[in-house]
Amino acid sequence: MIFLLRRLAFYLAALLVAITLNFFIPRLMPGDPSARIIASFQGRLNESQVQAIRQSYGLTGSLWEQYLTYLGSVARLDFGISTVQFPEPTASLLFYGAGWTLVLVGIAIFFAFIIGSLMGIHAAWHRGSFFDSVFTPINVILNAFTPAIVALLLFYAFSLELKWFPLGRAHDPNLMPGWYPEFILSVLYHATLPVLSIFLVSFGGWHLGMRNVMINLLNEDFVVLARAKGLSDQRVRYRYVARNAILPQITALALSIGFLLGGALVTEQVFNYPGLGKFTFTAIQSRDYSFIQGQLLLLTMSVLVANLVSDIANVILDPRLRR
């Protein structure tokens, strides 16, 4: 319990660092987001209107007051007002996009973690075999291909040339969103290629991680004892070695979520998929600062929550942490 409380305190502190960075980076740069909007009215605003716009972006008062206002709005999950579509709040678009990104990254992580870990277990158990010496390097090299390139390759081959998969969108535009089989199938069909490209660049990491941790565990006394007791090969492999090797993998899984979400930004751009990445890309082109800052905060929060979940999972799986 003390372990979890300490971790929770750390995540709150980390979140505070992210919020502080997000607060200061724009203020260190020349100009401020409200200047664009005020300029777009070409001097037709009087002093009080300018003041009102600046206030809506939290730019009035001393730096300390601004900081406290910002903290308050983040705590209410209020990500400010779009700097491009002026009076619109950023949060609605942010959460809409995050939903679709979650579909992509969730499915991809699930398969990448399971398939990668199983391959790693197999490679470690039969280390030095054909499988290990051929697939371990290949999978890890795949891991070093940037998501942009793998996505482009798949898009070119299966969407443009073979026309097996659609050129964009998250579902068939003629279907109303809802929980019925036709719609879900359409969502899965549209998500196949983006998920595949995130999967391809991430499963090699789980393969190598699992393999290396397993190899280091194979010489431990408890493994030798388990074999000496005459337990079956399967039981030693999965219940003794893999069971212990999975603990650092779960911690790494939570840390990798930030990296995967970053990769998804690029993947969505290639596949024209309406997730957070696609909207971030549009926001970059139109310089919608609120949205770009909002995506950092939202992604940081999701990574921190994922880390907390992985800590809880570690406490459940590892009795040594329960003391």
Q: Does residue 170 contact residue 213 with C-beta atoms inside 8 Å? A: no
Residue number with CB closer to another protein (1 or 28): 28
Distance CA 247, CA 232 (A): 22
Selected from 67, 86, 145, 158, the binder of another protein by CB under 8 A is: 145
Examine residue 238 and tell whether it contacts another protein (CB under 8 A).
no
Examine residue 85 and tell whether it contacts another protein (CB under 8 A).
no
Selected from 52, 137, 225, 322, the binder of another protein by CB under 8 A is: 137
Residue number with CB closer to another protein (11 or 111): 11
Q: Does residue 289 contact residue 295 with C-beta atoms inside 8 Å? A: no
Selected from 102, 168, 259, 315, the binder of another protein by CB under 8 A is: 259
Instruction: Give the CA distances from residue 178 to residues 99, 125, 184, in Å, rounded to whole numbers and listed in that order.
Output: 14, 45, 8
Examine residue 55 and tell whether it contacts another protein (CB under 8 A).
no
- Of 242, 258, 256, residue with least CA distance to 210: 242
- Of 91, 109, 148, residue with least CA distance to 295: 91
Examine residue 224 and tell whether it contacts another protein (CB under 8 A).
yes
Examine residue 153 and tell whether it contacts another protein (CB under 8 A).
yes
* CA of residue 221 relative to chain centroid, distance: 38
- Give residues 20-39 in contact with another protein (rule: CB under 8 A): 21-22, 25-26, 28-29
Distance CA 149, CA 47 (A): 50
Q: Does residue 261 contact residue 105 with C-beta atoms inside 8 Å? A: yes
- Collapsing DSSP to helix, strand or coil, 46 comes out as coil
Where on the chain is the footprint of another protein (CB under 8 A)? 10-11, 13-14, 17-18, 21-22, 25-26, 28-29, 124, 127-130, 132-133, 137, 140-141, 143-149, 152-153, 155-156, 160, 212, 215-216, 218-219, 223-224, 227, 255, 257-259, 261-263, 265-266, 269-270, 280-281, 284-285, 287, 289, 292-293, 295-296, 299-300, 303-304, 307
